[in-house]
Every structure is written in C-alpha cells, then in structure tokens.
Amino acid sequence: VGERCRRLASGLQSLGVERGDTVALLAPNTPEAFECAFGVPMLGAVLNANNTRLDAGTIAYILEHGEAKVFLVDTELSATARDALAQIDRDVIVVDIEDSEGPGGERIGSMTYDELLAKGDADFAYELPADEWDALSLNYTSGTTGRPKGGPQTFRMAFINCVNASAAIGMTAASRSLTFLPLFHTAGLNTYLLPMLHNGAHTTVMRSFDPGEVLRVIGDPSAGITHFLGVPANYLFMSQHPDFEATDFSRIVAATVGGAPTPRPLLTLYAERKGVVIRQGFGMTETS
C-alpha cells in the first residue's frame, strides 16, 4: 500500500499537481479511496473526498469552490461525475477508478487510476508538511443554511485527534477496528481509522454498511474487532437483523455512536442484551 501511495503522489505530480492544490475524489470505500487519503497528502496536495450521495449540481459547486485540479472518479459514479463536470467552468483532469468490486460504468477521464500509478515513481520521496497547520484535506459540510462549506483539516488537527481518540477509548497497538462509515466523512476517516493506524493497530474497512455483514465481522473471532463507530441508524438496523441475538459482542472494547441523538431504548437494548455500553460522542467536520 505504501508503494502505491507513493506512486499516486508521484503520478499526480506528473500531471502538474503541486503542494496546496486540491485533488477531488468521488468513490465509495474502496482500496483506491484509502490510498488517496494517504497518497495525496504525500505530495502536499489537499484531498477533497466528496459525498457519494450528493447530486451533480452540488458536486459541481464543490469542484468549483474547492478549485479542484484533478478529479478521481469511481466508474460506479461516472454518470453523476459527468453531469457535474458539464456544469463547471474550469479545466479539471479526470481519472477513472475502474473498481473491480463495483457495478462499473462508463469511462469519462483521460486516463485510468492504474495508468496514473504506472506514471508514478515507487521511490517518490515525499516531504513532511512545511507547517503543521498546512491543510491535509478539505471536507465539505452542509451546515444548516446555504451552500456547502469547505472545512480544511490540518496535519496538526489530525494528529491531536489521534492522540485524543486513542486516550478516550483505550486504543493500543493490539486494537482492531471496523470502519463501515464512508471515508468521505470525518467520522469514517478520522474516527477511528487514522487513530488506529497512528497506534500501529489493525483496521478493517467495509465498502459500505450492511447490518448482517457488520454483525458477521463483529462476531468472527479471527477478526477480533474491538472498536467501531456508527450513527444511531446503524445500531438500529443491526438490532433488527435476525443475526443480532446470536452475535458475540464480548470482544468489543468501545462501541461509539455519533451524528445524531441516540434514543434511550436503543442504548438500553445494547446494554441489556449484549452487555455493550454505547459511548456517545460529539464532534464536527471543522475540527476533525
């Protein structure tokens, strides 16, 4: 993975991407999305991962407002990306991510992701940020009014978040997390994927949330999941699944919820039936 990240950084550099430039992404939780989270910052560029549920008009606004120089698009979402690109008035280099696990779609870019990596150097010497307050990513949040707002997250913010999260929920190098929230959201990427890697721990990333599959992985002794984060709807759908009662939650150290208020009956259900005290968290995209 490290080599592919370096190739990505070098490949983007060959396309004219420089430190501080924005690289946009539209993809589900794929290996390529994971690589972008680390490869783009290696160049000092800023990753703008877009919500895959947004309409083309909103994505077009974000591409314009965020001044994207390159747009990496999973072909599963090529139709939305094509419609968004038709609405902007700027030159953007489009790269197709041909996802073997997704349903696929048309190619709309000038090259594929694999061709971009082939242009890159596996020995690319990336530099640490010139300043710890340099932007690492640009995450758009809708807020409550008007257009989406771009919240830059810095290297320092990411580091402090890793330190705080690790201390708050007992992460160690032996921890194993399950990530099923989208990586385009601060919860999926920063809680707890980055903190886990910061600790040298193991994380399993799911393409998307499926309650039955989440229960299977949590109950699998070989997976050894100790930490996971969800929104209230995730916990509700899991509790309604036929496999819920038989799933072993005994290895869970911290199950956390956020994103919306959690109904007391749902908290009580997990505490009484599974022995899991769900930890309620609060955070904002703007603070990572």
Helix (H, G, I), strand (E, B) or coil at 16: coil
Token readout for 42 is 């290696």
* HSE value, Cβ hemisphere, 13 Å, CA-based, for 104: 2
Average pLDDT for 162-178: 93
> What's the pLDDT score for residue 140?
92
> At 146, is the pLDDT very low, low, confident or very high (cuts 50, 70, 90)?
confident
> What's the chain's average pLDDT?
93
Instruction: Give the whole-angstrom CA distance, residue 254 versus residue 170.
Output: 8
Region of 200 please: left (phi>0), alpha (psi -120 to 50) or beta: left
pLDDT (tens digit per residue) in 171-226: 999 999 999 999 998 888 888 889 999 999 999 999 999 999 999 999 999 999 99
Is 90 exceeded by the pLDDT of residue 70? yes
Whole-structure pTM value: 0.92
Is 70 exceeded by the pLDDT of residue 158? yes
User: In the chain, where does DSSP find H-type helix?
Assistant: 2-14, 31-42, 56-65, 78-85, 113-119, 155-169, 186-188, 194-198, 211-219, 232-239, 264-274
Question: Of 40-44, 145-149, 159-163, where does mean pLDDT reach its minimum?
Answer: 145-149
> What's the pLDDT score for residue 58?
95
pLDDT (tens digit per residue) in 226-245: 999 999 999 999 999 999 99
> What's the pLDDT score for residue 224?
97
Cβ–Cβ contacts within 10 Å for residue 183, how many?
23
